[in-house]
Every structure is written in C-alpha cells, then in structure tokens.
Structure 1
Amino acid sequence: MYTTQPPRENVIRIIQQEHTNLTAVIHNMQQFVRTLGQGNAPADLKIMRAMLLYVIDYPERVHHPKEDEHLFARLRQRTHDVDSTLDELSRQHVRGTTLTRELEHALARYEFQGAPALPALRLLVEEYGRFFFEHMRLEEDVVLPAALHHLTEADWIVIDLAFSANGDPLTGAPIQNNFSRLYQLIVHGLPGQH
C-alpha cells in the first residue's frame, strides 16, 4: 500500500489500525457469546467461526510476525531498556496461540453439547479478551514509545516496508484483502452491527 506518511508514522498507524480491528472483532466475539442461549433464534455459529478464524489467522500470519521479526528485533538492537517487555510480549504471542486453540475446542464442544458447554465458552472468550487487550496495551504504552525514542530513520524505513507489505508469509501473495473481507463479514454480520 502506498502512503505519503513518513515511515514511522505509517508503521504506528498500521499497528494501531490492526489493534483497532482486532479489538472490534474480540468485542463482537464477547457480545456474540453473551447472547447465546438467551431464547432468541438460534445463532449462526458461522459468524463466531469467522471471528475465531480472524483472531487466529490475522495475529499469527500478519501482525505478530511483523512485530517479532522487524519492530522487536530492531528495538533489541538499539536498546536493552525494554528487553523484559519484549520477552513478555513474545511469550504472550505463544500464549495467544494456545488460547485460540482452546477457543476452537470450546466452540466445538458448544456445537456438539449445547447449553452445558456454554459457560466454559463464555468464560474463555472473556479471558481471551482480557489477555489480548492487555497485550495490545503493553505494546502501545511501552514498546511504541521506546521505538519512537530509540529507532533510527533507517530502522523505520525497513520496518515500514515489512508492515506495509502484508503478504502471506507462506506464499508471499497479498492477503490484506482476504482479511478485509473477513473483517467486513464479522462487523456487518452481527445483529445490531449494521
């Protein structure tokens, strides 16, 4: 994507937009599971599956690899002031993968068992939301200010190229449009979200 913004402003904008999109999807997941089993018409679990696909694939295939390989790596080269935070965020990237697998299993249990499995699904969705919101807060409140302070213009140019590419890490093909379509399905597919 072409932009006229300076590289560091563009990187910050991309990270914040990705966080905004992930926040919206997680809030929709939370709202969706809160309404399950309330006696309304049966929920279309395809929407929940789409949300789960988004929170699994987008962070794992697009967002976290760019952070780990480019932003975090460059920041580690320039300073050790935030090493413990970067270590914690890297551990959280792994924990996030585990939580999303648990979410997949909890949704499958709900699909097969119905109401008895609903409390566990609701609890896990809320836990995932708290986890991910704290994760993003740590990035925005600690890592981004450190990056703005320590990274050079050359660092920002390299990071901007990586963050702007949004290619599939496996094939190199552009995937942003696929995630954009999935995101639109999620935010416009829920009742009351139009």
Structure 2
Amino acid sequence: MQRLIKRLIEDHKHLSRVLSCLQREMYGFSGGEDPPDMGVILDAMDYIQNYPEAFHHPLEDRIYEQMASHISDPELLEMLERIKIQHSQLKELTRRLQNDFHAVANDQILPVDRLLTDFRAYDELLVEHMACENEHLIPAIEQYLGPAELEQITAELETRPDPMFGGQLLAQYEDLYNYLVESERAA
C-alpha cells in the first residue's frame, strides 16, 4: 500500500522537477538571457510523453476506476471524473507542445506567442492536476481500496520503473537527468 502511494507521490515530484526544467528553458523564449536548449526541451517532452502517458496516468486511471465502485461521496466521484478528463487534456497538450518544439527544432516558423500560450496551458493544467491528486485522491486510496486490489496494482510497479528516476537511468535521458541535477545544485 505505502509503496503504491509513495510511487505516485514520487512520480509527481519527478514530473515537477522536469516541469521546472521546462519552465527555465521557456524563459529563453520570452526574453531570457540564454537561448532555450532545444535538446533539453525535446528530451523533457519525450520523458513527459512516454512515462506518464504510458504508465503513470494509466496506473492512476486503473486505481481510480477501482476506487469509484466503493465511493459514495459525489464530490470525490466528480474529482475522479475531472482527473480522467485532465489525463486526456494533458495527453493532447503534451502532443501539441511536442509538435511545437519539434517544429522549432527543425527551424520551422512558429509564433512565439503560440508556443508560450501552449506551454502556459500545459503548465497550469499539470500543476492543478497533480495538486488535486495529491490533496484529495491519493489519500483516498487507502480508504477505498482493499488489500487484494492494492497488492495486484502494486505488483505492476516493478514491471514499469521510471526510465529516469527509477534506479536505472536510460541512456536517452542521461543528458536531461544531468541537466536537472546541475540546475538544482545551482539554484
């Protein structure tokens, strides 16, 4: 149980770290001194698309789906529905941002205002989404899921470690990880 909850909270912390990295790089598009590092941005977007979309959000969706049958509180049920909608919105915004950044990296003309607007929308939604889950839904897991349900879900954690923070760093994220560590030391 605790391992599952710890994993969800850690995933959110790691996503926040990557989001902070993107925020620093976005400053370069809005008049910052240093130009944005497109390699870092593309790696961050790849991580954000691949890990959360392939594992983290489906895991949450599965947890919340199993919880829903045990919940009678209409506000909590409404939050579960909002989280599912946000997962879809985040997927779409991630795809759009990734396309935006690939266009910029390939020297295609893209209005900076559009890029900044897309990023702000993504940033605001992700921050709101994680805060809602951390504050309301993750604490409800223990209340609404039984040991057998939790054990089955927890067993899945081992099959999908985080490719950047899961103990074994995948080579494709090595530069991004080093950037995160360096920038956090400097701050």
Q: TM-score, with normalisation over the residues of structure 1?
A: 0.79
* Corresponding position of 2:11: 18
* Corresponding position of 2:119: 125
How far 1:127 moved relative to its partner? Answer: 1.8
Q: What do the CA deviations read for 1:155-187 (whole angstroms, capped 9, x no partner)? A: 22122112332179xxxxxxx567655555324
Does residue 68 (structure 1) correspond to residue 58 (structure 2)? The answer is no
Helix, strand or coil: the match of 1:78? coil
In 2: Cα distance, 1:103 partner to 1:150 partner: 36
In 2: Cα distance, 1:10 partner to 1:161 partner: 10
How far 1:188 moved relative to its partner? Answer: 2.0
Cα pair 2:42 2:102 within 8 Å, conserved: no
* Corresponding position of 2:25: 32
* Corresponding position of 1:90: 84
Q: Flag structure 1 segments of 5+ consecutive residues without an equivalent.
A: 1-7, 169-175
In 2: Cα distance, 1:75 partner to 1:180 partner: 33
**RMSD, aligned CA:** 2.8
Q: Which moved more, 1:72-81 or 1:12-21?
A: 72-81
How far 1:154 moved relative to its partner? Answer: 1.9
Residues 58 and 41 (structure 1 numbering): CA distance in 2 closer, same or farther, change over 3 Å? same
Does residue 189 (structure 1) correspond to residue 179 (structure 2)? The answer is yes
Q: Using CA pairs below 8 Å that are at least 6 residues apart, which structure has the higher relative contact order?
A: 1
Cα pair 2:4 2:154 within 8 Å, conserved: yes
In 2: Cα distance, 1:20 partner to 1:179 partner: 17
Cα pair 1:26 1:129 within 8 Å, conserved: yes
Q: Flag structure 2 segments of 5+ consecutive residues without an equivalent.
A: none
Residues 32 and 42 (structure 1 numbering): CA distance in 2 closer, same or farther, change over 3 Å? closer
How far 1:9 moved relative to its partner? Answer: 0.6
Q: Which moved more, 1:43-52 or 1:16-25?
A: 43-52
**Amino acid paired to 2:178:** H
Cα pair 2:27 2:36 within 8 Å, conserved: no
Cα pair 1:187 1:193 within 8 Å, conserved: no
In 2: Cα distance, 1:160 partner to 1:74 partner: 13
**Amino acid paired to 1:106:** D
* Corresponding position of 2:52: 59
Residues 101 and 24 (structure 1 numbering): CA distance in 2 closer, same or farther, change over 3 Å? same
Count of residue correspondences: 179
Q: What do the CA deviations read for 1:124-145 (whole angstroms, capped 9, x no partner)? A: 2222111001111111111122
